[in-house]
Amino acid sequence: MADTPLRIVSYNVRYFGHALRGLASTLGPKRRVAAALAGLEPLPDIVCLQEVETRSFRSSVADRHTPRGETQLEAFMGRMEETFANFRRPMPYEAFYFRAHRYTLGEFPLYTTGLAILVNTQRLTVDTHNVDAPHHITHHHVRVLRERKQSRICAHMRLLRKDDGLPLHVFNTHLSLPTPFSRAFWASKSKMGNGINQLHEAHALVQMVRHKSAGEPFLVCGDFNSPPASPVFHCICDEAHFTSAQAAVGQIDPKASRGFPTAGFMHMRMHLDHIFSGSGVRWLDADETRPFGDTRSRFHGLSDHMPLVARFQLEPPAVRAEPPAPPLGEPSPLVGV
């Protein structure tokens, strides 16, 4: 059983508010996302979610079914319990929430931001996590706006496969949009993934992943707001030598910024979401991953992003190649020019 592949899903769920164009969360999207995840076969072992709230006006104003004090993740996990009960299957997931930012009007919470990781405890054991203190990677290009800018964090877990005890680090993140307070932003036609702030955050992310994983296998997933072939993608794949899951299975050309959109806004289609890995992880397929707008996907219409779904094999230490980690250069102030 030790060689059984594992499966991961990375999904920006847009606060479960896509039915109202992101203005407020509703019950229906939580149920439909839960049904779509529970309908995957085999079930994911790890589910990384971006854009998940705690409890705020936006998360509750249109969802009258959420009890007072219940967080958005708790409400979603309630829908997961319902779904698995309807399928007559045990609900295998334990959920962890990582707080990022809280926007208030006085003491009144307008909306909040954060990340979540769901772990299939039938297959994996949680060893450590940073729920209480997620790693901050935000780059503040304009210091005076430091308190107003949305915080960017990286959630981290060290998991152990139950079959054989092999470790796996999971990192979940959501990088900033490119800052407009830079000459490079206005000089470059391609904005996403070209922001100097994004490149600083990518560097901070890489250094954190290297430090926390300490040579053990790892996955890094999330909404990077950056397409393939961008400076951010180049930093992560070409400089840091992380492996793109989609590129490894031949689903994308890493040199092409267009061709497989994972997100959409009005008529725009963008490839913004990624799963990366280090040594000790061998990618097998991404068969349930569909481009944004593909009506064949069970996730069609549930968010302004599509999930990445991929299977991988953990390799024991004896068969791993462990090249030394190359140093990263400093982000250039001329990125995107």
For the entire predicted model, the pTM comes to 0.87
Alpha helices by DSSP H, listed for the chain, are 27-38, 57-60, 72-86, 183-187, 196-213, 231-234, 245-248
Rounded (5°) CA angle 151-157-162: 160
One pLDDT digit (tens) per residue for the chain, 337 residues: 457 899 999 999 998 876 555 445 577 889 999 999 999 999 999 999 999 987 543 444 445 555 556 788 999 999 999 999 999 999 999 999 999 865 555 555 555 789 999 999 999 999 999 999 999 998 765 454 444 556 789 999 999 999 999 999 999 999 999 976 556 655 566 779 989 999 999 999 999 999 999 999 999 999 999 999 999 999 999 999 999 999 999 999 999 998 999 999 888 999 999 999 999 999 999 999 999 999 999 999 999 999 999 999 999 886 665 556 767 766 754 443 3
CA torsion angle 28 174 21 111 (round to 10): 80
Delineate the domains of the chain, giving CATH numbers in brackets: 6-319 (3.60.10.10)
